[in-house]
Amino acid sequence: MKCFQCCSSQVEKEAKGVNKSSKKAQTSKSIPDSPQKAALLQQPSPDGNVSKPKAPAVPQPPNAIDGLKDVGKNNIAAQSFTFRELGAATKNFRRESLLGEDVSPRRKPLDWYTRMKIALGASKGLEYLHEKANPPVIYRDMKCSNILLDGEFNARLSDFGLAKLGPVGDKTHVSSRVMGTYGYCAPEYQRTGRLTVKSDIYSFGVVLLELITGRRVIDTTRSNQEQNLVAWAAPMFKVPSRFPQLADPLLKGDFPKKGLHQAVAVAAMCLRDDAAVRPTMNDVVIALSFLGNGPTADACSSDPYSESDQLVAKRECYDQDSS
């Protein structure tokens, strides 16, 4: 009997050892090895108890500056800033510290030919989108803040977030929800939502008028009659003798009189309420090429019937027809 008892006790010991090892294996398998498993284990059990295993440590992303070394081909590294850091860099968002808003009296205003050079560069960008791109592209957000300038004031268009493919084939327009910046949108686009390349030409006319006058398209600091730039300048378009009143006072009369008349004529044609009579960007580029290449271009353009003069003649003919 004792032998059998010894054998039974030995068997019981071995069974207990197997049970302990199986329990250890089960507990080792229950340890999550991925975030998905950890999420599943955190779900409540039927009896209401919640298991809360330790989630694996998530590696923190490296600093953007340190990550510049690891940037590969077709990858862009960006650096983010907090609101407090931006406030400190801009002196609590003061106007003179923002991009493009340096109104310090120590800074000299842009001369006439630099302004026309900027207008010419921007018009060439629109010409490429309208005339050379296939299908044509409607920029839809032409404004001064979207024109980038380098050290030599060469203009480049930026921010194509609102750009849209233009009409192709027999289509004359593209129906779209009205989007853009107030003051720059063409009137027919605001009324109907029908978008054409002539909508960009109207917006360019506003930009050109801003360069000529040195005013903002909407300036609430001025009197009620002068807050809207286009509405203020429109009555002067029909009276050439009042064109000098449109010139920026900071220029102090240092601009060619003929060049001012031609630039105002181009802006007036672009700002027509009737989109059909607005010029194409190709016509605008040719007209501004005589104004944006410096005083030597004005001296060389002795042709009495140049492209800009043709636009003036077209505007005068349209005024006569409309009257």
Nearest to 272 by CA among 310, 246, 234: 234
The pLDDT value recorded for residue 6 is 47
Q: What are the tokens at 43?
A: 């779900």
Cα–Cα distance for residue pair 55/268, rounded to 1 Å: 67
| Integer Rg of the chain from CA | 35
Residue with the larger pLDDT of the pair 260 and 309: 260
Residue with the larger pLDDT of the pair 323 and 287: 287
141, 200, 283, 309: the catalytic one is 141
The answer to whether the CB of 287 falls within 8 A of the CB of 316 is no
Residue 121: pLDDT over 60:
yes
Q: Where does residue 163 rank: exposed (0-12), middle (13-18), buried (19+ CB within 10 A)?
A: middle
Cα–Cα distance for residue pair 137/168, rounded to 1 Å: 10
The answer to whether the CB of 200 falls within 8 A of the CB of 164 is no
The stretch 184-196 carries a mean pLDDT of: 87
Least confident of 41-45, 80-84, 242-246, 291-295: 41-45
Give the chain's domains with CATH numbers.
Answer: 112-322 (1.10.510.10)
Residue with the larger pLDDT of the pair 274 and 46: 274
Does the reported pTM lie above 0.85?
no
**Catalytic-residue membership of 66:** no
Q: What is the pLDDT of residues 276-294, one digit of tens each?
A: 999 999 999 999 998 866 6
Q: What is the pLDDT of residues 25-74, one digit of tens each?
A: 555 444 445 555 444 445 554 555 555 455 444 444 444 344 444 444 44
